[in-house]
Amino acid sequence: MVVDLRRCIGCHSCSVACKAENRVPLGVFRSWVKIIEKGTYPNITRHFLPSLCNQCDHPPCVINCPVQATWRQEDGIVIIDEHRCIGCKYCLASCPYNARYINPLLPIVQKCYFCYHRVYAGLEPACVEVCPAKARIFGDLNNPEEEVAKLLSKHPFQTLKPEMGTYPQVYYIAADADAMDPFAGRKEWM
C-alpha cells in the first residue's frame, strides 16, 4: 500500500470505514490518522500520518508468536488465526508499530490485514475505497503496471522505522519526519 500524504486531508474517513468494515470495537483501532501541528503562528502547518499494520516482510510478531497463530502469506499479507490465538500478547509487545490490539469482546489479538476478504473478492480495502482524496493506493508492487509500482518508481518515499529490519510494506510519499517520530511533540520525553 502507498499512502500519498500530498493528497491526505486528515478527514479520518479511513479510520471510520475500517471500524465499520471490520467491526472494530470501541477503544481500539486497526487504522488511524496521527495528526501533528508544528511551528508558531502564523508559520504553522498540520501533518497527517495514516497508520496501520505495515504487513512487514520480516514480521517480529510472527517470529515471536508461540502457537503459529499469525503468519505471513505468499501474497505478503500477515494474518491471524483467531481460533488459534491464546492471547499471550507477546506479539503486541514485539510490534514496533503499535498495530495490534486485544479485541475486548472476544478476547483475542487482532490487527489490519488489508481487508483480505475484500481483496480476494476483487475489491479494494475499505480504507482505500473510501478515501475521498485518493491518498491511499493499494496494489501489487511486483507488477510494474500497477499504480503503486509507478508511484514508488517516480517519487521519493519513506517507510516507518526501517532500522528495525522489518521491511514494512506500507510506503509513505511526503511523510513528515516529526509525524513519523514517536517522541516528537511529547514534552515529557524531550
Residues that bind another protein (CB under 8 A): 27-29, 32-40, 46, 51, 60, 63-69, 84-90, 92-98, 100-102, 107-109, 163-164, 178, 182-186, 188-189
Nearer to another protein, 71 or 116 (CB): 71
Closest distance to another protein from the beta carbon of 31 (Å): 9
HSE toward the beta carbon, residue 162, CA cutoff 13 A: 7
Closest distance to another protein from the beta carbon of 92 (Å): 4
Placement of cell 497463530 in the chain: 69
Query: Exposed, middle or buried: residue 120 (CB in 10 Å: 0-12, 13-18, 19+)?
Result: exposed
Nearer to another protein, 119 or 164 (CB): 164
Q: Which of 34, 52, 47 is nearest to 127 (CA)?
A: 52
Closest distance to another protein from the beta carbon of 110 (Å): 11
C-alpha grid cell, residue 60: 517480529
Nearer to another protein, 126 or 180 (CB): 180
Closest distance to another protein from the beta carbon of 34 (Å): 5
Closest distance to another protein from the beta carbon of 143 (Å): 30
- How far apart CA 1 and CA 103 sit, in angstroms, is 24
Strands 78-80 and 101-102: unpaired
Nearer to another protein, 53 or 137 (CB): 53
Polymer length of the chain: 190
Nearer to another protein, 66 or 122 (CB): 66
- How far apart CA 6 and CA 169 sit, in angstroms, is 19
